[in-house]
A = this chain, B = another copy of it.
Amino acid sequence: MLSGDLFGDLPTVLAEEEIFLLADRPGARIEKIVSTGQASPPGFWYDQPFAEWVFLLQGSAGLLIEGEGAARELRPGAWLEIPAHVRHRVEWTDPARPTLWLAIHLKS
């Protein structure tokens, strides 16, 4: 049976975001993502064909949804469901400590 510790082995400095695949099924994909100050490149927007349920566990981040005036500041405990094709980008993540996300792609 697959099991693990989501808080284990958090790196403190990464060249890029690290993505750990925790489960992948026809209907859903579960990822752990660790950011250490990264942001989406200038002008880049995620535009995904699936809804995504995002949950921030540690650290903090600024998530900009297209059409909203300012980035949503996400703190531990914050979750949101981003509908398919709603464009969004990560404006910033905490530079001082790892930001830990759980991202669930709702593929159907």
Contacts and interface: CB of A to CB of B under 8 A. Distances in A.
A25 B83 CA distance: 12
Interface stretch (A34-42, A71-79, A91-99): A71-79
15 contacts: A1-B65, A3-B78, A3-B80, A4-B79, A5-B78, A6-B77, A6-B78, A6-B79, A7-B76, A7-B77, A22-B53, A23-B51, A23-B104, A28-B28, A28-B104
Interface of A: 1-8, 22-23, 25-28, 30, 51, 53, 55, 57, 65, 72, 76-83, 86, 102, 104, 106-108
A56 to B, nearest CB: 9
A81 B83 CA distance: 26
A25 B22 contact: no
